[in-house]
Structure 1
């Protein structure tokens, strides 16, 4: 069969060569088709090379690199850059980082035990950090601050209660203010204004806080199992003085003594509270877990 096929192919080739010699137009058309086909294949190859798929988490990393490139502590990105990063996070979904509520990270804790919070580290450099907090039902990230930082938080799934505060700038800290009958002397209590005090259910827009505005001190409480993607620029850094400080919050009305100096509140006392620094809560347990989603290429 191999020999017969070879002979037949040879005869077909001879007939084609003879036809091209007798008909130059046919020869030209054949060459034109060959060139056209060749160009079409090259064009398709070029288009194929350009169709590089960038994962959402890679796009997030690339955008953070751009947005925080010229920023530092206390320096807020430009409005355009803030909107650019917010737009990326607003479209983020749990599947983009291979997360689902059925994973062990989100299982309810045993009765009598404080819920354990898991943290998935995505990236950290001197400009920004990216990570995901995984909270089981009733999990709490206590009230804490973000010194000199711009923070983007995207709730990926679940329902979370967020309470946040900003300092009242024209009221200094008091060194001797009674905020609770059981603790007559509470040092370093400072007035703060409530920024947010609501439940949020995914899907919802990204929340943004700034160094001195937007709710720089906040607390997360998981109503259901939930996951929140955090982007901090710049990240916490003890050597640079950006350490995480925790707080107690007390209702404004608990303060003893005269209220004359706070007449500017004009009956809005419920929108204010006293914050007092505290040590890291003993029942707060955050465990680092390996991130198992799409890889991030650090260029």
Structure 2
């Protein structure tokens, strides 16, 4: 049998030799995975880079404003490249203005690579030890303090990023600035087990629930605008994700 020498196969082989279900990869291993991810482009995983909104508006394609609005209403497409006991590799394709709401990655390390387009990333890490408050009112709910880790736009080609269980922006929200595709490697994969709770969140400015509780702001590494209170919410009704078919090189597991 001919050996699969694709870039995505090499990435899988490296991840399979690196990840274990119970430990995070070392900094050296993480850098090695990021270096491999940085060599990937859309064609390496069977994708064709989508046209930008400017191309659609100004090119000779006969696209009108109604078509553009319909384009923005398209769902996020999920492509699973592989899934095994220690990791998952998948691709999210987002149309312009699509939002993947703020969510967590409990006890997970996640490598991300923007394959094409631009995506805005807003990410937080929990403040430790945990600072939790009960809000007041007829429908009170708990909020937990988090610190902003990233608030930026990533545009391909750009370097891969990595988040860890307690650092690097473990809770993040993605908003498509243009049509974009993001490849993720998650270890361990999402699965239900004790101690791992998957949640979506709404973030509130620090000042919303912080009257009379500003002692931590005296720490030297933070400003008030760097913090937010996060409240766990149900899966947003408008989150629309559909399954697509991965069309890149097959993975030999």
TM over 0.5: yes
Deviations 1:149-191 (A, max 9, x none): 00000000101100000001034212x235xxxx675422011
Distance 1:190 1:269 in 2: 15
1:92 paired with 2:40, answer yes
Following TM superposition, by how much is the alpha carbon of 1:238 offset from its aligned partner in structure 2, in angstroms? Answer: 1.2
Which residues in structure 2 correspond to 1:104-183 (within 5 Å)?
A: 110=70, 114-174=73-133, 176-178=134-136
Following TM superposition, by how much is the alpha carbon of 1:59 offset from its aligned partner in structure 2, in angstroms? Answer: 0.8
Distance 2:176 2:140 in 1: 29
Higher RCO, 1 or 2 (CA under 8 Å, sep at least 6)?
2
Following TM superposition, by how much is the alpha carbon of 1:123 offset from its aligned partner in structure 2, in angstroms? Answer: 0.6
Residue 12 (structure 2) aligns with: 61
Q: Tell me, what secondary structure is at the counterpart of 1:242?
A: coil
User: Is this contact kept in 2: 1:128–1:235, CA < 8 A?
Assistant: yes
Distance 1:192 1:286 in 2: 27
Give every structure 1 segment of 4 or more consecutive aligned residues whose post-TM-superposition deviation is greater than 2 Å. Answer: 183-186, 239-244, 259-267
Partner of residue 199 from structure 1, selected from 153, 159, 177: 153
User: Is this contact kept in 1: 2:4–2:252, CA < 8 A?
Assistant: no
Partner of residue 237 from structure 2, selected from 274, 282, 286: 282
Following TM superposition, by how much is the alpha carbon of 1:108 offset from its aligned partner in structure 2, in angstroms? Answer: 5.3
Distance 2:186 2:68 in 1: 28
Which residues in structure 2 correspond to 1:1-299 (within 5 Å)?
A: 54-68=5-19, 70-72=20-22, 75-102=23-50, 110=70, 114-174=73-133, 176-178=134-136, 186-265=140-219, 268-298=223-253
Deviations 1:39-76 (A, max 9, x none): xxxxxxxxxx9x966101111111110110x342xx21
**Larger Rg computed on CA atoms:** 1
Distance 2:214 2:121 in 1: 31
Distance 1:109 1:242 in 2: 38
Deviations 1:207-234 (A, max 9, x none): 1000001100000000000000000000
Q: Which runs of 5+ in 2 are unaligned?
A: 52-66
User: Where is the helix percentage greater, Structure 1 or Structure 2?
Assistant: 1
Following TM superposition, by how much is the alpha carbon of 1:260 offset from its aligned partner in structure 2, in angstroms? Answer: 4.0
Taking structure 2 as the reference length, the TM-score comes to: 0.86
The alpha-carbon distance between structure 1 residues 114 and 247, as it changes in their structure 2 partners (threshold 3 A), is: farther
Following TM superposition, by how much is the alpha carbon of 1:126 offset from its aligned partner in structure 2, in angstroms? Answer: 1.6
Q: Which runs of 5+ in 1 are unaligned?
A: 1-48
Distance 2:27 2:148 in 1: 24
Distance 1:169 1:256 in 2: 17
Following TM superposition, by how much is the alpha carbon of 1:109 offset from its aligned partner in structure 2, in angstroms? Answer: 5.3
Following TM superposition, by how much is the alpha carbon of 1:296 offset from its aligned partner in structure 2, in angstroms? Answer: 0.8
Distance 2:223 2:43 in 1: 43
Q: Tell me, what secondary structure is at the counterpart of 2:32?
A: helix
Q: Tell me, what secondary structure is at the counterpart of 1:232?
A: strand
Distance 2:3 2:224 in 1: 55
Task: Report how many residues are paired.
Answer: 237
Deviations 1:263-295 (A, max 9, x none): 435671001100000000000011111111111
Q: Tell me, what secondary structure is at the counterpart of 2:169?
A: coil
Residue 23 (structure 1) aligns with: none
